Chains A and B, each alone.
Chain A
């Protein structure tokens, strides 16, 4: 159950395509490639990560070469080229957050979930990684969870434990 949508063919919904078109209209004619980053965010929010097939479809929509999409998807850290846990915990690991205990929080997450950075738990629910400064250094340690990028500030081991419990329960009621 790593990612249920993994093996299904990619078919962008009419709703998604309308959103694509609205975004592409924000730029001058002939400059629609500007829509690439926002479109990839929408696709990732829908499918959890960027499969080659999905990227090819985005290329087709924007009338650009697939390689132009791969170039972008591999450059920016927010795009995932393989499946992540349903909840991907991204902890800030940069200096200011480390002054207030970010490293301890990452260690705690690693121990509690029993997985290393970048791995996914057996049940497919969780993954985690360290990310760079999230522009919230005064409220550290912080973590975020996509695709909405919900933010959790002033983390302690207790609050992280609670968060993980809450997410587990949420997943269960949604299942």
Chain B
């Protein structure tokens, strides 16, 4: 087991308070950054760490910070993305609930690096209890002189405010989030311009996930190079994984990137295996938007390599036989789960959450939901599977924001890997209503379906 960087002190009683967090070495990164480093030095350390955005896209954080425009006399903003609505993901909520000062400390360090004097933490409105916790942490940090005017006598000023959302998955998309923060509907903006040039109120803005921001604390404390020693290849450091579904021990785990997926599922230190002694049927490793993997592609990739918890290994095999790290929402399906029903559920989710600006997404998600429902209740035809395939292909790449792709990919992967189960629903309509298909009939990795 590796050293924990984010959750090291999670079990210390009272760690959610400023005093206990400080006793455990908290806010050292703020002292170090503000007193001994320049903003450029901080950006440099984050670049060296190799940290990649933990919100889903995995874009290198240091590089993103480097793109921030710095026109004279124009305010710059850091906006923390605490919208956390990707099905299967609950790590940011966990972090904010139990160790809110890790986020505040990271916010101060990151705001300093970007030259922001006002920063916002956008938290989904349903997390009202977490909003209160984070607001309390801000007040405590301010009372201790870590926020406000002239922090620690360094001349740096910073205010942090929490902004509640209103219940909309799309507001996790960074430009929709900025619209929402400006008091509008969460309609994603057409890019370019990118937020780094014209973001909040038209000013240069960086949007980062809660976990990415918290990760800057150990990076500043120990140095970017130390952080980069953990992990494999371009997957450096530790990652919070939200584990749910049919496992013995669901919850949030901090892992060193590079851990074998099999070990994560079966080790008692993590998920503890499949619940009720059942067999593994499938896995969604990175939140509902990433392709589902059938059991035969979970432990090994199509190339015969061990499947590891890294950005590269999870994607090994491309879209045909791989998946993606995404947000780290690790959803485990046992042999009793119905892939058609779950795919329909996810399609319904995306249809409900589509903002409606682009026809392929607005209409396509609706069609996918309808067709999947028809198949699920035993009224589908074999042609419907092809129709479904066709609809998802017409969404991908034809929309303003990636929600359209996110809706299409899970459907494509489900058909690709579980076509026999879809067909069985159609050929056995009565049975499909009363029982599940069970384990898919695969023994060896399936040859990729020709696109």
Q: State yes or no: do A and B come from one complex.
A: yes
Verify if B4 is at the interface (C-beta below 8 Å from A): no
Contact indicator B126/A134 (Cβ below 8 Å): yes
Residues on B with beta carbons closer than 8 Å to the beta carbon of A76: 125, 165-168, 186
Interface residue tally for chain A (C-beta within 8 Å) = 45
Give Cα A158 to B252, complex, Å: 26
The digit string for A39-51, where 1 denotes a CB below 8 A from any CB of B, is: 0110000000000
Contact indicator A148/B84 (Cβ below 8 Å): no
A40 to B, closest residue via Cβ: B166
The digit string for A89-109, where 1 denotes a CB below 8 A from any CB of B, is: 000011110111000000000
Residues on A with beta carbons closer than 8 Å to the beta carbon of B272: none
Residues on B with beta carbons closer than 8 Å to the beta carbon of A34: 163, 181-183
Contact indicator A137/B183 (Cβ below 8 Å): no
Verify if A28 is at the interface (C-beta below 8 Å from B): yes
Instruction: Give B27 Cβ to nearest chain A Cβ, in Å.
Output: 23
Question: Given A134-B126, A140-B244, A72 and B331 touching (CB < 8 A)?
Answer: no
Verify if B435 is at the interface (C-beta below 8 Å from A): no
Verify if B184 is at the interface (C-beta below 8 Å from A): yes
Residues on B with beta carbons closer than 8 Å to the beta carbon of A35: 183
A90 to B, closest residue via Cβ: B126
Contact indicator B167/A77 (Cβ below 8 Å): yes
The A-contacting residues of B in range 55-102, CB under 8 angstroms, are 75, 84-90, 92-93
A28 to B, closest residue via Cβ: B201
Give Cα A79 to B124, complex, Å: 13
Verify if A16 is at the interface (C-beta below 8 Å from B): no
Contact indicator A133/B88 (Cβ below 8 Å): yes
Contact indicator A133/B166 (Cβ below 8 Å): no
Interface residue tally for chain B (C-beta within 8 Å) = 54
Residues on A with beta carbons closer than 8 Å to the beta carbon of B127: 135, 149
Contacting residue for B331 out of A40, A75, A99, A134, CB 8 A: A99
Verify if B337 is at the interface (C-beta below 8 Å from A): yes
Contact indicator B182/A31 (Cβ below 8 Å): yes
Give Cα A166 to B161, complex, Å: 36
Verify if B18 is at the interface (C-beta below 8 Å from A): no
Verify if B429 is at the interface (C-beta below 8 Å from A): no
Give Cα A35 to B86, complex, Å: 25
The B-contacting residues of A in range 22-36, CB under 8 angstroms, are 26, 28, 31, 33-36
Contact indicator A77/B90 (Cβ below 8 Å): no
B120 to A, closest residue via Cβ: A26
Give Cα A41 to B128, complex, Å: 10
Could you give 18 example pairs across A and B, Cβ below 8 Å?
A28-B118, A31-B182, A33-B182, A34-B182, A75-B185, A78-B126, A79-B167, A94-B345, A96-B87, A96-B245, A99-B245, A132-B85, A132-B349, A132-B353, A135-B89, A135-B90, A137-B242, A137-B329
Q: Given A76-B166, A78-B125, 11 more contacts at CB 8 Å?
A: A72-B184, A99-B331, A100-B244, A100-B245, A132-B85, A135-B124, A137-B89, A138-B251, A139-B90, A144-B126, A148-B129
